[in-house]
Amino acid sequence: MEGVLILGGTGSGKSSGSARSLILQYLASGFGALVLCAKIEEKQRWQEYAEQTGREKDVVVISPESGLRFNFMQYLANAGEGASYTENIVNVLVESMANVNREGGGSSGGDQAFFINASKQIVRNCIDLIKLATDEKKEVKLSLAAIYDIIRSAPRSVPEMKAGEWTDTAFGQYVLAAQKNIATSGTPVNEHDYYETISYWENDYARLPDKTRQSVLSTFTSSAEPLTRGTLHKMFSTGIDVVPEDSFDGKILIVDVPVKKWLAAGTFIQVIFKTLFQQAAERRNIQENSRPVLLAVDECHYFMTDTDLDFLTTARSARVASIYITQNISNLYAKLPDRELVDAILAVLSTKIFHANNDTITNKWLIDSLGQYWAETSSYSSSRSPVSQGDEIFRAITGLGDNMTSSSTSVSETRTDKIEMEIFSQLRKGGQHNSNKVDGIITQSGRIWNHTGDNYIICEFNQQ
């Protein structure tokens, strides 16, 4: 179970060439799958793959149209043990949001860390307030919408808090319900929690620098707000009809909330789904269910996060094959927090397929990683006069040089790259004029291919 990275310029044949041919093989072998969608046509593409491999019945489309719901907070609350689940919700939510909104390149590491800590504290206190406001005989109803409502309506300054006008807001309703619960059935533990939570809203949240609160609020607004209204609210804040674990039973889960349509909210919810799938895969008992599953991420630069590295290093034992597809390595440098992380991800995705490309960073990366060989180059210098036939024959049978003239042939060896830059413009990109054929250079760490006796092969993929 290897991780695969496919790289190639736009229209080089990644999706319709190498990815397609691998995916058809995974599906034909009975893999379950989680499919993230950047492009609107991704769902259709997968429905065709499923048809071609007789897997139509396994397709589960999670989309506003299908109406299947996944209240991930409730799922997390159910999956967790003891108090630890709050921390997991806080981490998944805030880290996903931060990843979606990160500029990449690690330029503002300190600001980012401060932002993440402040956001985690806010979310943690929202969850605690919701728990305290829930009647102890009832199930705690966590949802993204509830958290967003609290953050949006909580007083933003000490005078606002003191004025008490917030009692009519969503925040106020939760506080009043919590007060009532404490008055009727308070225990030392929840009284303490209540005091801590209220103290946070009064003393910390209301005193946060405007810039910090504004930045948390605007991040929430761009990634989470669209998920708290309309059909997306119904899908991700109300019930649970589908869970990541369904893929372990052979389902092909397509999270059809494409980034091209839903922008940051599409990225955010799919990053969450991916993270929860990865956590579930790591929890899975392989002795009881060993069905292999595929994590398929085309246009992966939208969805890659720091958690991918940890997961990819253990994915083999969790029986998860991953396919990540993007145009070039520069995309990853631009999206992930630092270069070391990208380099580590490149190392752990051990099978790589390179298609036609004009990104020099990517092409150079491959040229350097394949290494060099000793190439013989001979130079000949001579002031020789024509030699007799006898001499020619003598040289041919003895292999000795011709010492009888003043000519000299010197053979020297120079280090030469195994492939040259030109090759990246010669690889076929599919389409009718290429008879629907796509070429890719394949490397796999530590592997010498029988076919060529070398550390790479050039492979042809059919688009149809």
Ligand X SMILES: Nc1ncnc2c1ncn2[C@@H]1O[C@H](COP(=O)(O)OP(=O)(O)OP(=O)(O)O)[C@@H](O)[C@H]1O
**Span of 15-23, 28-36, 167-175, 374-382 interacting with ligand X by CB under 6 A:** 15-23
Least distance in Å: CB of 288 to ligand X? 37
Buried b (16+ CB within 10 A) or exposed e, 92-113: bbbbbbbbbbbebeeeeeeebe
**Span of 9-17, 209-217, 302-310, 415-423 interacting with ligand X by CB under 6 A:** 9-17
Please choose, from the candidates 429, 432, 436, the residue with its C-alpha nearest in 3D space to the C-alpha of residue 463.
436
Q: Does 10 bind ligand X (CB under 6 A)?
A: yes
Least distance in Å: CB of 15 to Mg ion? 3
Helix (H) or strand (E) segment spanning residue 325: strand 320-326
3-class DSSP state for residue 96? helix
Least distance in Å: CB of 17 to ligand X? 6
Please choose, from the candidates 410, 353, 268, 401, the residue with its C-alpha nearest in 3D space to the C-alpha of residue 20.
353
Tokens 């404490």 belong to 182
Nearer of residues 50 and 198 to ligand X, judged by Cβ = 50
Cβ atoms of 43 and 63 within 8 Å: the answer is yes
Residue 440: C-alpha distances to residues 68, 361, 387, 447 (Å): 38, 17, 50, 17
Nearer of residues 38 and 118 to ligand X, judged by Cβ = 38
Query: Residue 327 binds which one of ligand X, Mg ion, none, with CB within 5 to 8 A depending on kind?
Result: ligand X
Residue 119 CA, chain-centre distance (Å), reads 22
Largest interatomic CA distance in the chain: 118
Q: Does 463 bind ligand X (CB under 6 A)?
A: yes
Sign of CA dihedral 17, 21, 26, 27: positive
- Choose, by CB under 6 A, the member of 64, 106, 186, 431 that binds ligand X: 431
Residue type, 159: P
Helix (H) or strand (E) segment spanning residue 296: strand 293-297
Number of residues in contact with ligand X under rule CB under 6 A: 16
Nearer of residues 362 and 463 to ligand X, judged by Cβ = 463
Mark 315-334 with x for binding to ligand X (rule: CB under 6 A) and - for no binding.
------------x-------
Least distance in Å: CB of 295 to ligand X? 18
Q: Does 440 bind ligand X (CB under 6 A)?
A: no
* Neighbour count for residue 37 (Cβ, 10 Å): 30
Nearer of residues 39 and 141 to ligand X, judged by Cβ = 39
Mark 363-402 with x for binding to ligand X (rule: CB under 6 A) and - for no binding.
----------------------------------------
* Neighbour count for residue 68 (Cβ, 10 Å): 17
Least distance in Å: CB of 103 to ligand X? 22
Least distance in Å: CB of 464 to Mg ion? 16
Q: Does 13 bind ligand X (CB under 6 A)?
A: yes
Nearer of residues 219 and 326 to Mg ion, judged by Cβ = 326
**Span of 117-125, 338-346, 426-434, 441-449 interacting with ligand X by CB under 6 A:** 426-434
Q: Does 14 bind ligand X (CB under 6 A)?
A: yes
- Choose, by CB under 6 A, the member of 3, 5, 8, 428 that binds ligand X: 8
- Choose, by CB under 6 A, the member of 32, 337, 430, 440 that binds ligand X: 430
Helix (H) or strand (E) segment spanning residue 246: none
| DSSP conformational letter for 449 | B
Cβ atoms of 155 and 161 within 8 Å: the answer is yes
Query: First and final CA of the chain: distance in angstroms?
Result: 26
CA distance 262 to 40: 10
**Span of 100-108, 316-324, 405-413, 425-433 interacting with ligand X by CB under 6 A:** 425-433
For helices 72-79 and 259-283, the axis angle rounded to 10 degrees is 10
Nearer of residues 8 and 32 to ligand X, judged by Cβ = 8
The contact set with Mg ion (CB under 5 A) reads 15
Q: Does 464 bind ligand X (CB under 6 A)?
A: yes
Interface ranges with ligand X (CB under 6 A): 8, 10-17, 327, 429-431, 436, 463-464
